[in-house]
Structure 1
Amino acid sequence: MTEPMPTLSIVEFDDSLAQHFHDINAEWIEAMFQLEQTDREVLQNPRAKIIEPGGAILFVEAEGMGVVGACALQKTGATSVELTKMGVRETARGLKAGEFLLAAVIERAEAMGADPLYLLTNRKCAAAIHLYEKLGFHHDAGIMADYGARYERCDVAMRYRG
């Protein structure tokens, strides 16, 4: 018999979770790329860089495993919001934790009035891109033109269309 899937829940950011935010994201970025200066600034100062300017950080917790994923919504303009720093620990792959987290983050972004809600990524992140597409993100040249230069590794830009 297969093990039952652990129950997933969403947890709001508080300072006690800042290290999880850093570690989860540093783990996946360093596995595929190099941490850029903009990554370090956000990961080392999530309250100052994301929360205080009006953004949000949500975590996904798996029963018996603790915090296994994180994702941020970073305000980049009056209504523009970047979905950023989304990562799930290697140990939690296959639990649908990323999809569960992404759905919660999209819901939060809509509640914040995000327009546009967008993300920047790299084509090496094929599984993530597939998930983004599945939940309503579309490739967008305008987003690339407006925001893509923020990261050297960015070669994919997507806008949420629901």
Structure 2
Amino acid sequence: MPTSLSILDYQPAHQPAFRALNHEWISCYFTLEPIDNEMLDDPQGYILNPGGHIFMASYDGDLVGTCALINEHGGLYELAKMAVSPRAQGLGIGWALGTAVLDKARELGASRVELLSNSRLTPALRLYEKLGFRHVPVPPTPYQRTDVKMVLDL
């Protein structure tokens, strides 16, 4: 991990950065969907209040990345809303965020972490595979862009 990289617990003041980081990557590859806007506008209600967690990555004092852990039910969590600004990619920030989310999932007693993604996001899929996730069939999902599902049993 670079010495100027810090992984921070989400604070309400981070919401604009959380939204902007996710908006940046989603808009680059896809179209923002209603569920995106709902979650990005109210991370407290959609992610934190139901028992989830959000991490923010600070690099040289700037918030350049984020990743959420959403509590689904019965020990199942979803890794979601991972974003690293293009200006900070290639610095190990995605790995640091993914590791922090999986450590938090273990701390919370999760039995499985799953994620939904898209086959166009090759670097992200490689990162998830490196973190230990494996591909499984894709169920119906609220996201039109989803064509990949991956799971990691803890």
TM-score (norm: length of structure 1) = 0.90
Structural RMSD (CA): 1.3
Matches within 5 A, 1:52-91: 52-64=49-61, 66-91=62-87
1:132 is the counterpart of 2:124:
no
Which position in structure 2 is the counterpart of 1:24? 21
Q: How many Å separate the matches in 2 of 1:97 and 1:155?
A: 24
Shift of 1:100: 1.0
Show CA shifts across 1:118-152 (max 9, x none).
000000110000000001000012xx23xx41211
Q: How many Å separate the matches in 2 of 1:50 and 1:137?
A: 21
Shift of 1:90: 0.9
Which position in structure 1 is the counterpart of 2:48? 51
Unaligned 5+ residue runs, structure 1? none
Shift of 1:83: 0.5
Which position in structure 2 is the counterpart of 1:107? 103
Which position in structure 2 is the counterpart of 1:41? 38
Which position in structure 1 is the counterpart of 2:146? 154
Q: How many Å separate the matches in 2 of 1:47 and 1:151?
A: 21
Q: How many Å separate the matches in 2 of 1:122 and 1:6?
A: 31
Show CA shifts across 1:17-71 (max 9, x none).
011100000000000000011101000000011001100000111124x111000
Unaligned 5+ residue runs, structure 2? none
**Structure 1 90/6 Cα, relative in aligned 2: closer, same or farther at 3 Å?**
farther
Q: How many Å separate the matches in 2 of 1:98 and 1:6?
A: 15
Q: How many Å separate the matches in 2 of 1:154 and 1:130?
A: 16
Q: How many Å separate the matches in 2 of 1:105 and 1:137?
A: 13
Q: Contact 1:138–1:161 at 8 Å: present in 2 too?
A: no
Q: Contact 1:6–1:63 at 8 Å: present in 2 too?
A: no
Letter in 1 for 2:147: D
Q: How many Å separate the matches in 1 of 2:7 and 2:21?
A: 15
TM-score (norm: length of structure 2) = 0.94
